[in-house]
Each structure stands twice: as C-alpha cells, then as structure tokens.
Amino acid sequence: MSNKASLSSLYAITAKHLSAGSACPPTRKGVIRCYTNKYCPFAQRAHLILAVKQVQHEFVLVNLKSKPEWLFEKNPLGKVPVLELDGQLLNESLMVCDCLEEMFPDPPLYPSNPWSRAKDRMLAQQWSKGSFALHKIFFSQGDEKVMAAAVEEIQQSLDIYEEELVKRNTAFFGGDKPGMLDYMIWPWAERFQPAKLLLGEEGILPPSRYPALTRWMERMMEDPAVLATYLSPEEHTKFYTTFDSNILVKKSVL
C-alpha cells in the first residue's frame, strides 16, 4: 500500500459539505473530530498534522458559504478548523496544530530549542497575516492592477522566507524533513500553482527570484502527508470559479 493510501485511510472525508439546515452528526466518545472544509487552507493545516502523525480521527465537512447553524456552537466565529474531543472544543488553525503536537509528540515537528521553536511559531503566524493577498488574485475578476498589487504583497512576504531558508541551509525549514513551519506554510504554496493560470508561467514564485523556495516546493510534493491532503490545480480552480461567479475571476481566462 502506498504512503498516500495508508495516510488517507486514517480519515474518511465525506463528499458532502453540510450546510444551513443540516443536523450535526453525533459524536463518538474518545474519537477526535475535525470540523473542516476541503478547500480551506487554514483547515488543510490540521489535515496535514493529523496525517503526518497518523492520528485516528473523523472529519465533518462544512459549507462555508452556507454555514450550518450548529457550526457557531462549535466556534462562535463560524470558522474552521475546529477540533472536538469528548465535548472539548478548540479552534484557530495554529492552536489546533500545536495542541495535536502536544497530544501526539511523535514525530516531533518543532525544534527542541525554545528560541528556535518560538521563531518557527512567529514565522507561521506572520505567514497567516500575509496569506490573504493570495485570495485577491482569484477574486480579482481578472483585474491586472489588483493582481499585480497582490503579487507584490505576497512576494514581499516570500522574500523573508526565501532568506530564512537560505540562512538555515537545509532542505526544509524543519531541517532534513518537514517540520511544523513547513506544514503551516504549505497550504498557500499549494495554491500558487493554480494562480499561474491567471498570472502566467512565472506566477508568484519565479525560480530566478526564489531558488530555495522553488526547491522546497519540489521536495514538499514528495512528502507523504502533503500527498495525502493534496488537491490538484484543477480542483482548486474549479472551487474558486464556482464559489461565487459574481466576484471570482472571469472563467474565460481559465
């Protein structure tokens, strides 16, 4: 059995995203549940950590355009991911992943040095703040000025991570294998690929400007947890072009 198959078998994602008016499936004692959305990069962070640690769990997919009423009982902000275990609830992707790291310490995803660990957390948090510019590209309706401004915003952030990876002189931010910072960044890096359909071949991550990050992406695509949670550029594009036809990119360019 391949790594992708064995990791994917740990969680059964149903095809249906539950929406407003639906009932929340009953929980099972002692079983970790993740409320999530297949296309949400923040939720994908939790998917990655659950996969790399091979945690037995279950998913409940929720529709983020027509949110089920009970989602707000799980998280008053109505966001995913939400982790639930025996009535205990936790939200915010970084907090969810840190909790999973403490509950399931093998394999360890943070450096043992407190200073290095704190720096990785800082860089993960900074990435979250700059990541929203990526959605401006998909939701630009093909406006070249909007896309250009969004790319510049993203690349100003990427410069920091390129420099950091060069400074570390390692294959991954985590060293010779991916660590927590690698997995916290990956969901947006995965979405750089469908962005090329709008921006041209160089896209957001031209190899001439980001040689270290380009090699990092290639290595990440060989990681079993990444492969287990990966969505193709075609799947991402289909989601963005059908989510809301009034605000998304013109379908004629896809």
**Which positions are annotated as active-site residues?**
40
Q: Contacts from 22-30 at CB under 8 Å and sequence distance 24+?
A: 22/68, 23/70, 24/60, 24/68, 24/70, 25/60, 27/84, 27/86, 27/87, 28/58, 29/86, 30/85, 30/86
Residue 72, classed as helix, strand or coil, is: helix
The whole-angstrom separation of Cα 248 and Cα 140 is: 6
For residue 120, give Cα distances in angstroms to 1, 68, 131, 134, 175: 33, 34, 16, 22, 12
The whole-angstrom separation of Cα 176 and Cα 3 is: 19
* Residue recorded with tokens 């009953």: 26
Residue 199, classed as helix, strand or coil, is: helix
CB 7 within 8 A of CB 51: yes
Tell me the angle at which helices 114-130 and 93-103 cross, rounded to the nearest 10 degrees: 150
The whole-angstrom separation of Cα 216 and Cα 17 is: 32
For residue 26, give Cα distances in angstroms to 33, 60, 86, 107, 197: 10, 10, 11, 31, 41
